[in-house]
Structure 1
Amino acid sequence: MERRHFIRNTALASGALGISAPFSYAFSATAPAHKFNLKYAPHLGMFKHHAGEDPIAQLNFMADQGFTAFEDNGMKGREVALQEKMAATMQERGLEMGVFVAHKIYWREPNLASGEAAKREEFLEDIRSSVEVAKRVNAKWMTVVPGFVDLRKSMGYQTANVIESLKQACDILEPHGLVMVLEPLNFRDHPGLFLTGSPQAYEICKSVGSPSCKILFDIYHQQIQEGNLIPNMDTCWDEIGYIQIGDNPGRKEPTTGEINYTNVFKFIHSKGFQGILGMEHGNSKPDKEGEQAVIDAYKKVDTFL
């Protein structure tokens, strides 16, 4: 599943949902079904066969299962009334808001790497508008993807252009205590993108030198791109602000691929990680059976203590 299709499909599947639809799932007043050791964050659509199409009912279902966080790539594109209602539900149910995508992502042409003034200003304007969304939904983190390479410039010049854009974005974010997390994406699913590996992201974050610019370490992407997951995470740990999950191959829930998620999560927990781990993957099976399989998989790999 390509990331741009994943973002688009989850946004379309849930962004068009009205807030006036009748709930097909009502949350329980009893204790959550499970207590997880880390803040795993589902997304809309992941449990729609159990909870129904209404996003508020889906949030309640997540909380009832014991999840304590939620992420939504498409949050910025939702109507303000729905954003506010989702934020109120998350606050009521103890769900911490994870990332949303902060800006237009350029998948096939250079933007930040080019240094072009108009592209930089477009990006900065997107960041400004994302500040208002973050305030509305009580979000701290927002995803940034620097876009496509500029084949007419050496990598050094491209890197300098990206760093300058990110520094200017930090000037916008820092006063609000908000953090953009830079996501390296693998070369197989996304050939031609500027940012691909954790060492590159680490170098950029160090160069930007701001608490508002950190790494989004997507375990699925980095298993493909570089492997050696735990040592690489450990090396760039001080710049990791957010983590996303997906097994490989397939980009489905843990236990469906080659990654030993029990050990990876044990390492993350041992580092005292207090942030969110976004469940940015599909379900390996359809319907309610597939949704229950996702819940069961997280219960299984969460048994590292």
Structure 2
Amino acid sequence: MPQPFQLAVCAEMLWQDKPIEWRAARLTERGLGVGLWNWPDHDLGKLESVGANYTIMNGYLQGRLSDRDGADKLLTSARETVEVGKRLGVDRLNLHGTGLGDGGIPIPLQGAFSPGMELRARDTLHRICDLGEEMSVIFTLENLNPLDHPGCPFGSTAEVLSLVSAVNRPQLRINLDLYHTQISEGDLVRWCEASLPWIGEIQVADNPGRCEPGTGEINYPGIARALHCMGYTGPVGMEAFAADDSDAAVDAFVAAFTV
């Protein structure tokens, strides 16, 4: 059966008893891209030596979208991260509405919007796009969910789509995380359709549990067929834990997205 998507797996979440470079090599042997989180956690030389296709990595270490101090920190951090991303050949650099601390808790915690936040966030994202244009890189803005990441501004699928479509520049795409969308809004196929012109990557995990496709309530083979019918041929990354065996989790992911 044909494989219409560019498949990748987050190396941080599987084979957690193994070094990160071992995990990257294992995924590369299977013909899959490799997703990463924060680059300071790893030995960059060892990651370089694997020769992996690193598909996505956090594009910043600190900062936030909607205030001047946070935006300045975000841009400084993003510029530093771009250099690391270029060293590893990372395809996309990922952003959130604000920095995430231990356990995914936003820093700072913002439970409500204040006037002007969205306009300031757009301004910040235009600055991010200027950086992307200067450095020839692509950033993505990821949606989150309020259960795992309470108080994160610009976390919902609707808010992320609103921002990215308003900025509407090729240096900024949506990282549409369907695990988060399922918890926040559901209606996954229609969110894929609405976001399609701006999608840079689709990320998946089943719910509840955030494990591989087939362990929860989401019909990922059906979503894969719908994406194929829409003409989507871009990246699909599994950002999920293994319910039991990591190799079996990868097998289930690949099977779900083989149309």
The normalised TM-score by structure 2 is 0.86
C-alpha change, 1:84 and 1:230, in structure 2 (3 Å) is same
Number of equivalences: 250
Greater fraction strand:
2
Matching residue of 1:101: 58
Match of 1:132 among 83, 93, 109: 83
The one-letter code matched in structure 1 to 2:215 is T
Cross-structure match for 2:163: 204
1:160 alignment partner, SS class: helix
Partner Cα separation in structure 2 for residue 45 and residue 101 of structure 1: 12
Task: After TM superposition, give the deviation of residue 77 of structure 1 in Å.
Answer: 4.1
Residue 4 of structure 1 corresponds to: none
Find the partner of 2:92 among 132, 141, 144: 141
Whether the 8 Å CA contact 1:254–1:261 is kept in 2: the answer is: yes
Partner of 2:10, secondary structure, is: coil
- Return the offset for 1:190: 1.4
Q: 1:62 is matched with which residue: 27, 32, 36?
A: 27
Q: Which residue of 2 is the match for residue 298 of structure 1?
A: 253
| Distance apart, 1:135 and its partner CA | 1.0
Percent of residue pairs identical: 25
Distance (Å, rounded) in 2 between the aligned partners of 1:270 and 1:200: 26
Inter-partner Cα distance in structure 2 for 1:59 and 1:152? 39
For residues 140-179 of structure 1, give each alpha carbon's deviation from its aligned partner in whole angstroms, at most 9, with x where no partner exists.
211101125656862x411111111111111111133311
> TM-score, normalized by length of structure 1?
0.74
Is the Cα contact below 8 Å between 2:111 and 2:150 reproduced in 1? no
Note if contact 2:156-2:181 (Cα within 8 Å) is conserved in structure 1: yes
Note if 1:81 corresponds to 2:45.
yes
Using the TM superposition, give the Cα deviation of residue 61 of structure 1 relative to its aligned residue in structure 2, in angstroms: 2.2
2-side partners of 1:300 and 1:84: how far apart? 29
Aligned to 1:215: 174
Instruction: Give the equivalent residue in structure 2 for 1:22.
Output: none
Rg larger for: 1
Correspondence 1:162 to 2:121: yes
Higher relative contact order (Cα pairs below 8 Å, separated by 6+ residues): 2
Instruction: Give 1:171's match in structure 2, choosing from 124, 130, 136.
Output: 130
SS in 1 for 2:140: strand
Q: 1:41 aligns with which of 8, 13, 30?
A: 8
Alignment RMSD (CA, Å): 2.5
Q: Distance in 2 between matches of 1:298 and 1:118?
A: 40
Distance 1:223 1:231 in 2: 12
Alpha carbons 1:76, 1:130 under 8 Å: kept = no
- Residue 238 of structure 1 and its aligned partner are, at CA, apart by 0.5
For residues 77 and 164 of structure 1, the distance between their equivalents in structure 2, rounded to whole angstroms, comes to 30
What amino acid does structure 1 have at the position aligned with 2:46? L
Specify the code of the residue in structure 1 equivalent to 2:146. F
2:69 to 118, 123, 130: 118
Amino acid at match of 2:7: Y
